[in-house]
Amino acid sequence: MNISPLSGICLGSLGIALLFIIFAFLRGSPGLRSYILTRVVLTLPMVFILVTVIFFIMRVIPGDPVTSQLGPRGTEAQREHMREQLGLNDPIMVQYVKYLGKIVRLDLGTALVLGNRPIVDELSERLPATIELTIPAMVIAVGFGVLSGAYAAQHRKKGVDYGLRLFSIAAYSIPVFWLGLILQVVFGIGLNIAPIAGRIDPVINIDLNRMTNILTLDALLTGNWRALGSALHHLFLPSLALATVLTGVFLRLSRINVIESLVEDYITAGRARGIRERVLVYRHALSNALIPIVTLIGLQFSVLLAGAILTETTFSWPGMGLYLVERIGQRDYTAVQGVILVFALSVAVISLLTDIIYAFIDPRVRY
């Protein structure tokens, strides 16, 4: 049986999440077990409500997928025939019940326009691209933001501290699409050191054997170093734009929490014993400051997905965000609902895992 990249990624991710939840449930206290069960149960109606809202909103906004498909030259008979084929002539509640039935069977349906392909096949091509963009962006944002925040706390009330705080405010305030355009103009057009669109050079893409459709991973698995270099080259600007916006959040949070940790008694005792300030900041104070940062990582994931939509549109990155924008313009109800469902499940699962991890790393948490 052939498994699509989307199915493989989703099944693998859900499998890892399920194993961790089971481990936490078995090793946790009775209160934590009750909390895990409650969160899992509440996740299902949350996704149901979101899918329901999207279903009805897409059908009350102006526009028609049949008109988008046939254009102004389509005859009335052709329009009526297509509407009958797509089931758009059914009452809206009948369409809704049919859609819920498909969701229960893990069937996302078929696209209404552009070839009527199964949504799973289309998302199999788009979801890996979004994952390839968001993971490096999150790693850069967390790594640089946390370390620079700790550095600012170590040198608080000095010039470098004020500079990093100003940078964090500016980074969080800049619209990601505007930052992307600036990066394209400076690095892509002005300096000509990075491509401004696409995921890989078309000539190199021909020789790349795609297994997961995450190009950097496929290049590593097949030993295609030329393709790896091209994929990383194209990934540089969009991941930098997306990471910059989140860096300011992690910088400010880590700075505040490290400063609070530096006034604790154990830090004062460490200074009295002659332990170097760098060790106290980065080994002891920062480790305690990571507890709220772990929670923020999960909360910022939804922000990262929203930023990915604007970033992918700016850089013509063929991921879920660009696909969603295209299908909203074409009033492709089924495709939009499929994308929203994948996003909703991703955010729900990551939020659940974040809360469980937080309970493990902070023994003060009680449920």
Mind listing the pLDDT tens digit for each residue in 112-167? 776 667 888 888 888 888 888 988 998 999 899 989 988 998 888 888 889 999 99
Structure tokens at 61: 């906004």
Q: Is the pLDDT of residue 5 over 70?
A: no
In a domain? residue 302: yes
**CATH number, domain at 232?**
1.10.3720.10
Average pLDDT over residues 259-288: 84
In a domain? residue 115: yes
In a domain? residue 157: yes
- What pLDDT score was predicted for residue 173? 86
- What pLDDT score was predicted for residue 326? 83
Q: Is the pLDDT of residue 97 over 70?
A: yes
Q: Is the pLDDT of residue 223 over 80?
A: yes
pLDDT category at 349 given cuts 50, 70, 90 is confident
The closest alpha carbon to 125, from 314, 317, 341, 348, belongs to 317
In a domain? residue 30: yes
Exposed (0-12), middle (13-18) or buried (19+): which is 201, by Cβ within 10 Å? middle
pLDDT category at 26 given cuts 50, 70, 90 is confident
In a domain? residue 179: yes
In a domain? residue 367: no
- What pLDDT score was predicted for residue 293? 80
- What pLDDT score was predicted for residue 185? 92
pLDDT category at 285 given cuts 50, 70, 90 is confident
**Is 12 in contact with 64 (CB distance < 8 Å)?**
no
Place of tokens 């996704």: 47
What gap in Å lies between CA 50 and CA 343, rounded to an integer?
Answer: 10
Q: What is the pLDDT of residues 193-214, one digit of tens each?
A: 889 888 888 888 777 887 778 8
Q: Is the pLDDT of residue 1 over 50?
A: no
Please work out, in degrees rounded to the nearest 5, the angle formed at the alpha carbon of residue 31 by the alpha carbons of 26 and 37: 65
More confident site: 182 or 103: 182
- What pLDDT score was predicted for residue 237? 92
The H or E element containing residue 99 is helix 92-104
Calculate Rg over the CA atoms of the chain. 24
What gap in Å lies between CA 40 and CA 349, rounded to an integer?
Answer: 9
Q: Is the pLDDT of residue 258 over 50?
A: yes
State pTM to two decimals. Answer: 0.80
- What pLDDT score was predicted for residue 71? 66
pLDDT category at 362 given cuts 50, 70, 90 is low
**Is 145 in contact with 254 (CB distance < 8 Å)?**
yes
In a domain? residue 366: no
Place of tokens 């009527």: 116
Average pLDDT over residues 178-183: 91
More confident site: 38 or 365: 38
Query: Which letter, b or e, does each residue of 158-180 get, where b requires 16 or more Cβ atoms within 10 Å of its Cβ?
Result: eeebeebbebbeebeebebbebb
- What pLDDT score was predicted for residue 114? 64
Q: Is the pLDDT of residue 235 over 80?
A: yes
Where in the sequence is the domain holding 310, given as residue range(s)?
5-361
State phi, psi for 76 to the nearest 5 degrees.
Answer: -65, -35
Q: What is the pLDDT of residues 55-71, one digit of tens each?
A: 888 777 776 677 766 66
In a domain? residue 218: yes
Domains contained in the chain, number = 1
Place of tokens 């989703």: 10
Structure tokens at 322: 């660009």
